[in-house]
Amino acid sequence: MPYVIGLTGNIATGKSTVARMLRELGATIIDADRVAHEVMRAGTPVHRAVVEAFGSQILCTDGEIDRARLGEIVFSDPQALARLEAIVHPAVLEEVARRIAAAPTPVVVVEAIKLIESGMAEAFDALWVTTCPAEERVRRLMADRGLSRQEAEQRVRAQPPQEAKIARADVVISTDGSLEETRAQVEAAWRALSERVGNDQR
């Protein structure tokens, strides 16, 4: 089995940026959010269960789930969010495990916003957490995703405090500086990891 890093952090803290840097360094990246998209595609058991739980008003004209519409429902209602996660997470966990087993590289990174909350992190070798101040995260959501300030602040507030994730982390990457500063942190952590993984394999 490869060495598996769980990469997490609250919304708009730069997880995807760090994952891209790790891919360039030679890791296989598994994006759990993308896996969630795939297990929710029309015709899957998860799709049917989500539509049963939230109604046909969440569907696009082609029968796929309108994730923006679903997001409006679950991000304003913690119970609805928990209901959605209870449907989707088991299928995501199963598919992520399959992809880890099939990975062609010695290091695999699983990127997921709910890595700790879902229990997925318990099975991994290390936990990396990205962090960034709340106001910068709001700015990024407005700039990158076209959200209003109210929508962006709602999504930031809907998540548990960053400090809880940081307390669990083996590596913390602060992304509020320049890309070069973020890359320097990632490369330093990768060098330390490469030495450890290399030693483990000898």
Tell me how far the alpha carbon of residue 26 is from its chain's centroid: 19
Q: How far apart are CA 46 and CA 38, in angstroms?
A: 10
Question: What's the pTM value of the predicted model, to 2 decimals?
Answer: 0.87
**Residue 199 has what pLDDT?**
52
Q: How many residues does the chain have?
A: 202
Written as one string, the DSSP assignment of the chain is --EEEEEE-STTSSHHHHHHHHHHTT-EEEEHHHHHHHHTSTTSHHHHHHHHHH-GGGB-TTSSB-HHHHHHHHTT-HHHHHHHHHHHHHHHHHHHHHHHHH-SSSEEEEE-TTTTTTTGGGGSSEEEEEE--HHHHHHHHHHHH---HHHHHHHHHTS--HHHHHHH-SEEEE-SS-HHHHHHHHHHHHHHHHHHHHHHH-
For the chain, give the percent of residues with pLDDT over 70: 98
What band does 197 get if pLDDT is binned at 50, 70 and 90? Answer: confident
For residue 124, give every residue at least 6 positions away whose Cβ sits within 8 Å of its Cβ, in sequence order, or none: 4, 5, 6, 110
Mean per-residue pLDDT, 77-90: 93
* Mean pLDDT, all residues of the chain: 94
Query: Would you kindly state where each structural domain of the chain is located, as residue ranges?
Result: 3-201
Give the sign of the dihedral formed by CA 72, CA 76, CA 81, CA 84.
negative
What band does 202 get if pLDDT is binned at 50, 70 and 90? Answer: very low
Determine whether domain 3-201 maps to CATH 3.40.50.300. Answer: yes
pLDDT digits (tens, 9 = 90+) for 105-121: 999 999 998 899 888 89
Mean per-residue pLDDT, 169-177: 97
For the chain, give the percent of residues with pLDDT over 90: 86
Virtual CA dihedral for 16, 190, 110, 160, nearest 10 degrees?
Answer: -70
Tokens of 56: 């046909």
What band does 143 get if pLDDT is binned at 50, 70 and 90? Answer: very high
pLDDT digits (tens, 9 = 90+) for 20-68: 999 999 999 999 999 999 999 999 999 999 999 999 999 999 999 999 9
